Amino acid sequence: MERAAVFDVDGTLVDTNHLHVTTWWEAFRQTGHRVPMHAVHRAVGLGSTDLIAHLLGDDRDKDRDAELSAAHKALYGQYFDRLPPLRDADRLLRRLAREGWRVVLATSAGGAELSALRRAISADDAIDATASADDVDEGKPAPEPVEHALELAGVPAERAVFVGDTVWDMRAGTRAGVRCVGVLCGGIPRADLLDAGAQAVYDDPAHLLATLADSPLADVPGGPDTHPRTG
């Protein structure tokens, strides 16, 4: 009985949310938009097009979306060589891999950005697959990214957990029918994550790792003796 642990990346495994806030804010400023940083923070976790639509509305000049996205990409790209992993993110993924979980990343990042994030996590040996928003028609909070991750893992929803840091993650996971676990290291309040569908909320990957046996992951059918791994 395979089990899947699906992870969001930004704000969940790598401490990048506030970098995204700053670089999106600057991208909006450069293109003539005044968007409060707190509003940008609440939108982080959406794909670029959805984030722009969420913050500027449908009556914006959509012809400038590509310019906005390109500005953010260029600004954020300056940090690719020093993205900081969150505490024990690598140890958490490796622990789950050793216990027979299929570990899949579900992220809106792609290309050079995804490569930089994976370098920051430094646990490629524990990661089975990556589901990008580029692979689906709709990004979070639609369920498709999580559903695609489950397809890659070859695991049904009832034997999976999705770990994320935003309300978009929790809504996507809930709609996909998986157990959802929230982390606070992305800066979103505990109550918001619980309201959006989190069964439990932890401070960060280190906190989840330390309490794994009492977390919702312990309730997923299957067990570490079914398909154990080495390494």
8 A C-beta contact, residue 173 and residue 149: no
User: Is residue 221 over pLDDT 90?
Assistant: no
Q: Where along the chain do its domains lie?
A: 3-15+84-219, 17-78
The distance from CA 144 to its chain's CA centroid, rounded to whole angstroms, is 13
Contacts of 70 (CB under 8 A, 6+ apart): none
Residue 172 is encoded by which pair of tokens?
A: 């996507």
8 A C-beta contact, residue 4 and residue 176: no
Q: What does the pLDDT read at residue 110?
A: 86
List, in sequence order, every residue forming a beta bridge with 119; answer none if it has no partner.
Answer: none
Distance between CA 160 and CA 172 in Å, rounded?
13
Percent of the chain with pLDDT over 90: 90
CATH class of 3-15+84-219: alpha beta
Contacts of 67 (CB under 8 A, 6+ apart): 31
8 A C-beta contact, residue 161 and residue 5: yes
Closest CA relative to residue 40, chosen from 71, 59, 19 = 19
Amino acid letter for position 50: D
Distance between CA 67 and CA 73 in Å, rounded?
10
CATH number for region 17-78: 1.10.150
Of the two residues 16 and 108, the one the predictor is more confident about is 16
8 A C-beta contact, residue 193 and residue 170: yes
pTM given for the model: 0.94
Question: What's the mean per-residue pLDDT of the chain?
Answer: 94
Weakest mean pLDDT among 30-39, 71-80, 137-146, 215-224: 215-224
Q: Is the dihedral of CA 201, 203, 208, 211 positive or negative?
A: negative
For residue 223, name the pLDDT band (cuts at 50, 70, 90).
low
Q: What is the mean pLDDT of residues 85-98?
A: 98
- Crossing angle of the two packed helices 111-121 and 65-77, in degrees rounded to 10: 30
